[in-house]
Structures are given as C-alpha cells and as structure tokens.
Amino acid sequence: MVESEVIRLGSSLFTYPVIRPRRLRSSGLIRDLVAETTLKPSDLIMPLFIKENLNEPEPIKSMPGQYRWPLNDKLINFVDQLVNSGVKSVILFGIPEHKDEWGSSAYDEHGIIQRTIRFLKDSFEDKLVVMADVCLCEYTDHGHCGVVKKLPNGGYIVDNDTTIGLYAKTAVTYAEAGVDVVAPSGMMDGQVKAIREALDRAGFSNVAIMAYSAKYASSFFGPFREAASSAPKFGDRRSYQMDPRNAYEALKEVTMDIGEGADIVMVKPATLYLDVIRLVKQSFPEVPLAAYQVSGEYAMLKAAIMNGWLDERKAVLESLIAIRRAGADLIITYFAKDVVNYIDEIERLF
C-alpha cells in the first residue's frame, strides 16, 4: 500500500502520496540509472592555439596546462591523443607572425589557420571535426575584432560592414582549406548572413556555421587574450559584445543568427551565464547549442585545484555537468583532454 498524507488547504483536505526521493539515491548504480544529465567525450570541443614560426609547444602562463602549438608533428601527436580518447572536435585560433590594421593574415590563403586546417585534415580526414574561429582580433595590430575607423572627434568605431566582408573572405579561405565548421565570434551585425552567402557562392554550402550568438563583454577573457596576443591596444569591446546585465537580449541575437543561417548557436562565457543557456535552449530547443567555458573560468578552477582547495575530478566534472544541465549540447572547454581520463568516474564521484 502506498503511504499517503493529508494536507489541509483552506477548508479542503487533499491526500498526497508520500514521495521518498532517497530511494533512488541509495547506490551508485541506481543514481546512474536515473541520472538526468549525461556527459560524453563527444560532447566536448578542444580549443587549440596555433602559433606561426614556433618549433616547440609554448606554455601559456595564465592557463596552466595549456600551450601554444607549433604547426608540426607535436600538434598531430596531441590531436591524435584527443581523437583516441573520444574527443572528436577542435576549434582553432591563430597567432600570426604578421599583424596589420586590416588583419590581413586572417584571410591569407597561406595563413597559419589555413595551413593548420590542411595539416589536420590530411592527417585525420573524417575522424576529426575541424572548426575555426572567424575574427580579426588575433590578426590586427590594434587588437580589435574588426577594421577600426577614426572619428572626427578623435574617437573610433569598428566599421561593421567592412569587417563582415573580411569575415566572409576569411571563412571562404578556411572552407577552401577543408574546414568543417566556421565560427564567427566578432559580434558584428549581419556576420552570419555575410558568411553564409559567401560560402554558398563559393560552392561550400556544406560548411556549417557555429555562431558566437550571445558573446558577453566578460572580464573572464583575460587569459585568452594573453594566450592569443589579442588584447585591444585602446578602448574595449563593449560597443559590440553584449552587456553582462542583459539576458533576454540574447534571444534577439540568437534569433537573428538563426534567421541568417547559423547551424549552431553559442553562449559565451558558460558558467556565469547558465541562466542565458537555459533561456536560449528553452526558446530554441531544436537548434544545437554550444557553450564556451572560457579561459578565465578554466584559470579560476585550475588555480583552486593547484592550491589544493578543490578536488580536480569532482570540480571539473561538476562544472561541465552544470553547463550540460542548463541546456548546452556542446561544450568548448580547455579541460577536454584531461576530463576524458575520468569522465567514466561520474557514478563514483557523484
């Protein structure tokens, strides 16, 4: 007989069954059986920094355990480890030798990312999904995400329309090199439409677009900017990246990107924007949603782990599960390679 209890609400009496949730927490096997959220290596995307004219992996001081990679067998060996562990996707960021005000190395057909795409595709073919970030911040000598136009009053703006034309040009050179997914991250209006049209005209309608749709002007990008040498030399990016105080504005950005042809949308950063991830997923359940656990989130966790304040396995898994639980289908994370070593321990750890 099912236990029940009687509750009085006003003048009425209601009978409810007594629910005992602890029955489903009594062992690891049962907890695993009824777990609502899963995390698999194939859910993860590993970011890679590729630096021109580098011979050995170069440690990134602000991101312990992460490296700038040379375009040689050292990179291939690392990616081979990823693929064998079950992480089948990478996203590339380039650090060129030459920078100028137009970011011309970004759309050079012999640029560092174009050569990296060819190198990885020749080595792994269809065993690896190669994604490439589309932006100019790593390639401009001023560090902004587009072409800067000076104003008569001494100020400046990032020229939206000129910039998206260069994004489109960059995306086509990536497609020619064999990329699977291009990922525009500059938060320029109309960037997805410009890229989609350019790819289609060039005969690359099969190349997907993962749009950084809701990219916030976050203080957690600092280590990335050090890693990629992409910090702005003047001003900041608040005029084109989203205000951290706004959540529903993300729906406007996502709606626009989907309408312009985005195949995957993204929220960045992840951990501090779980509410935005949930909001986007609930509003667009049919569209794959990525979330980027950014450099500052990685560095923050890594520092606490290295000081012995957090258990690495539990803390990293919990952070990634939270992102998945909020609604992300894919997670870009610097922990991708490490976490696969203990991802199958979720039952024991939780």
Give the active site residues: 215, 268
| CA end-to-end span of the chain | 32
Give me 8's structure tokens. 């009085």
DSSP 132-179: EEE-STTTBSS--SS-EEE-TTS-EEE-HHHHHHHHHHHHHHHHHHT-
Cβ neighbours of 229 (radius 10 Å): 15
Residues 6+ away with beta carbon under 8 Å from 3? 17, 18
Yes or no: say if 242 and 216 are a contact pair by the CB < 8 Å rule: yes
Using alpha carbons, list the distances in angstroms from residue 156 to 102, 122, 150, 187: 15, 42, 4, 17
Yes or no: say if 148 and 101 are a contact pair by the CB < 8 Å rule: yes
DSSP 192-227: HHHHHHHHHHTT-TTSEEEEEEEEB--GGGHHHHHH
> Crossing angle of helices 191-201/160-177, nearest 10°?
40
The one-character DSSP state at 242 is: B
> Could you write out the three-class secondary structure of 316-335?
HHHHHHHHHHHCCCEEEECC
CA distance 185 to 198: 17
